[in-house]
Structure 1
Amino acid sequence: MDRVSNLPDEVLSHILSFLTTKEAALTSILAKRWRNLLAFVPSLTIDDSVFLHPEEGKQDREEVKQSFMDFVDRVLALQGNSPLKKFSLKCVTVDDTDRVDGWVSNALARGAVSDLDLKIIIPSDIGEFYKLSPKCFECNTLVSLKIHRGIDISLVAGRILLPLLKTLVLDSVPVCPNEFEILLHALPSLEELLLDCVMWKGMEDVTVSSSSLKTLTMTLDYTLKSLSFDAPSLLHFKYSGYAALDYPVVNMGNLVDAQIDFFLSDSQLKQLREPDNDEDAHRYSKVWKLFHGTRYVGNLSLLPDTLEVLSMCSESMPVFNNLKSLTIRSDEDRGWQAMPALLSNCPHLETLVIKISVGMFVTASLGRTKDFHSNFVR
């Protein structure tokens, strides 16, 4: 017998947890010793793209879809009630939503799942989105919850019970802003929040409010009417995408580092630079509120379009008294008009890093800045 097969079942099951469930199941043909180890694997990673293999037309064959669903049923039946710590389900070909509900319920019913990762896309003739079971928001053991494209997370007030949840990822899912506030207020342990291209219903007013949140990453692929942040414990902030029309509340008094990357299309940039274009200038006139709320940050990184937007509100630039390190990235078709006002409002700046495109020329006079770095970016 080889050395690996001599290892205890618990160790072998732990090793198998690093494989996809399909790969782990294939080990059952190695020897009798391996046949039932899948029953004790504490992590299931089920992905129909791995199971079906990217062969032309294979994912559209009914017998193949049925084979995948039967495989998942067999795995869950084999495991019975054995403890399950991680359950990852990603399927884009299954059209039996009741069956999918059963898989998710099976994982949660074992009472030990700490990591739940879901991406479920249903055929358009069944519905636009898969309706996530409320049970996903009533789990005492969940520490990490990741919900990806294709899922609707309509919530019911008063039915959220996630006392241990520390990480929440919402990726390209439709969300009602009011229900989102209810959700955050029901997460007392939340520390990390990732909002990637969320489809905010109504596209009006969105508020991110959490007293425990420490890391926030947000990407916006359209313009919101207003966007507020009430996160007094936030340490790490990363924002990319379109700027909102207003930032009524920005409470981030403990920020350590922030990266802000606004997006401007070429046509928007052209309009913004047109003389006497008061309408587009007004569009970005309240961006200063976001920077005013982040004025206590220690390390700040700004990307090219952010400097352009800042030029619309340079007169309202806050003083960054705590800022020690500033990183600027720009290219030749983006302006630097905001730089003088920005640098003059950083009285304790020690390190300035400028990343520029090849061919640009930068002249810097930095009397009080201890370190100056310039990187050329192709």
Structure 2
Amino acid sequence: MDLLSNLPDELLCHILSFLTTKEAAVTSVLSKRWRNLIAFVPNLDIYDCEFLHPEVRKEERDDIRQLFVDFVDRVLQGNSHIKKFSLFCAGGFYLDRVDCWIQNVLVRGVSEINLTILLDPLGGDNYHLCPKVFENKKLVKLELTHGFDIRCFDRSIFLPMLKTLVLDSVLLSVDKFEILLHALPALEELVLHSIHWKELDVMTVSISLSSASLKTLTIKFIECFDTFSLDTPSLVYFSYSDFVVGDYSVAKMENLFEARISLCVIDEDISLARVPYNDLLEDDEYNVVLRFANVGKLMNGIRNVRYLVLSPDTLEVLSLCCQSMPVFKNLKLLAIKSEESRGWQAMPVLLRNSPHLETLVLEGLFHYVTDKCGDACDCVSREGKGRSLTSCPIKVLEIKGFQGTMKEMNIIKHFLDYFPCLKEIKIYMEENDTTQLRVPEVSEFITGEMMEHYKKSSSCNVQLLVGSYLYKKWTAQ
């Protein structure tokens, strides 16, 4: 302890910054030297849940909350530089103090703010964030989660240094959101999750996300709009999980490297989309088909992507975009998740339109069988089966979630038959009791039925993995 206590204050505070703020504060009992160091720690992570435990009786909670307020006031009593300030608190008990705490760290040059206030914004409980947060020239990262109402700032907002903005379960309006984006000239990372929009009661709502500097964009369940525009020419990473909107009027993402598209659709819409176009009689049926077909505009916007991940629903939706599917000239890796209730109708065109694809990852081989997927699998016997595979240059095929059924193994044999450039197959079986029993059987099948048949003509190596463990490897002759 003597050696540690002899360190300079700056170094001790740096060490304390790796502890939670409550843990750092406890060190004040060590000696007089440590008593006030907490006031100079540059990273503060403050959680009221460390004070309020479930077993605390209700009549004691108000006293403990006051102790929490006193604790935060004491931690913020200094005037040294603060780099990061994180605050997590439940309910509205502290709202009259939160503004004071935020203003304190702003004055002290804070560059990262992470605020979570557990309120119910839809129930009328919300917190109007201190306006000075939106007029700060030093803030680099801002995360707001739950209970924040940020619909009230005016056009004086300006955050010239902000690079990361995370909005999760906050209240926002479309017009204020667009004003906010224009006030962030250095923004590189944006996360939008479960936004509560003021315009939800309006029949037709359009949102435009435009940023010349944005490089990373994550969107998850920000509600269903009539039109969604994306003008992000510098974007390199795009993760999109939401219901299909009416139209994607603008989709500019020319420099995209990685995209993860997980569209959400209901079973009723899937059934309508599978109805032959000429048989559509109702407006609802036509609207579903048109909405799904407009996803082709989104796919065209990500046509330069190199790494693409698609969910089962997304693959089904793309069945109505086959005629407008762009050529993915830069795509090197395609990962697709499968479900028995969702089809592979778009698989043939995706493979044909990826002339430089090297790796194909299939998480599950079971899918809804139609005569349109028979070109990419052996589920339906038809003339020209496998034609889309013969022009595909993939070298590595990964099968995840393999269950060891005969149907799955026949599909793998189909891939071996028709993929001309295949060099390696990795088959991953899940690590559980059911699949463990099938591992020897699968291994024997690969040895006897597959590799013996292909060893003379194929140069493909096969690996069978259980979890992360390599069970067996077959090397091409």
TM-score by length of 2: 0.73
CA 1:359/1:214 → structure 2, altered by over 3 Å: closer, same or farther?
closer
Q: Choose which of 272, 277, 282 in structure 1 pairs with 2:290.
A: 282
Measure how far apart 1:119 and its partner are. Answer: 1.1
Distance between the aligned counterparts of 1:359 and 1:281, measured in 2? 21
1:300 matches 2:324: no
Residue pair 2:39, 2:74 contacting (<8 A) in 1 also: no
Distance between the aligned counterparts of 2:4 and 2:243, measured in 1? 53
Structure with higher helix content: 2
1:318 matches 2:342: no
Distance between the aligned counterparts of 2:300 and 2:60, measured in 1? 53
Superposition pairs for residues 234-249 of structure 1, below 5 Å? 234-249=235-250
CA 1:5/1:124 → structure 2, altered by over 3 Å: closer, same or farther?
same
CA 1:72/1:126 → structure 2, altered by over 3 Å: closer, same or farther?
farther
* Displaced runs of 4 or more, over 4 A: 56-60, 122-127, 357-364
CA 1:283/1:60 → structure 2, altered by over 3 Å: closer, same or farther?
farther
Residue pair 1:144, 1:168 contacting (<8 A) in 2 also: yes
In structure 2, the residue matched to 1:376 is: 400
Residue pair 1:22, 1:51 contacting (<8 A) in 2 also: no
In structure 2, the residue matched to 1:18 is: 18
Superposition pairs for residues 156-175 of structure 1, below 5 Å? 156-175=153-172
SS at match of 1:3: helix
1:212 matches 2:220: no
In structure 1, the residue matched to 2:113 is: 116
Bigger CA drift: 153-162 or 62-71?
Answer: 153-162
Distance between the aligned counterparts of 1:5 and 1:59, measured in 2? 41
Distance between the aligned counterparts of 2:47 and 2:37, measured in 1? 20
Residue pair 2:332, 2:357 contacting (<8 A) in 1 also: yes
Q: Deviation digits for residues 234-292 of structure 1, max 9, x if unmatched?
A: 11111112121111111111111111011124444345445644342233221111111
SS at match of 2:70: helix
Bigger CA drift: 209-218 or 5-14?
Answer: 5-14
Query: Which has the larger Rg?
Result: 2
Distance between the aligned counterparts of 2:75 and 2:331, measured in 1? 54
Q: Choose which of 138, 147, 150 in structure 1 pairs with 2:147.
A: 150
Q: Deviation digits for residues 303-326 of structure 1, max 9, x if unmatched?
A: 111001111222221222222221
Superposition pairs for residues 58-137 of structure 1, below 5 Å? 61-77=61-77, 79=78, 81-110=79-108, 112-122=109-119, 127-137=124-134
SS at match of 2:321: helix
In structure 2, the residue matched to 1:336 is: 344
The one-letter code sitting in structure 2 at the alignment partner of 1:177 is: V
Distance between the aligned counterparts of 2:326 and 2:34, measured in 1? 64
Distance between the aligned counterparts of 2:275 and 2:367, measured in 1? 25
Distance between the aligned counterparts of 2:185 and 2:240, measured in 1? 23
Residue pair 1:228, 1:247 contacting (<8 A) in 2 also: yes
In structure 2, the residue matched to 1:196 is: 193
Residue pair 1:59, 1:93 contacting (<8 A) in 2 also: no
Distance between the aligned counterparts of 2:211 and 2:160, measured in 1? 14
Residue pair 2:315, 2:344 contacting (<8 A) in 1 also: yes
Q: 1 or 2 for the larger relative contact order (CA 8 Å, sep ≥6)?
A: 1
Bigger CA drift: 197-206 or 48-57?
Answer: 48-57
Distance between the aligned counterparts of 1:225 and 1:215, measured in 2? 24
Distance between the aligned counterparts of 1:123 and 1:281, measured in 2? 36
In percent, how many aligned pairs have the same letter?
50
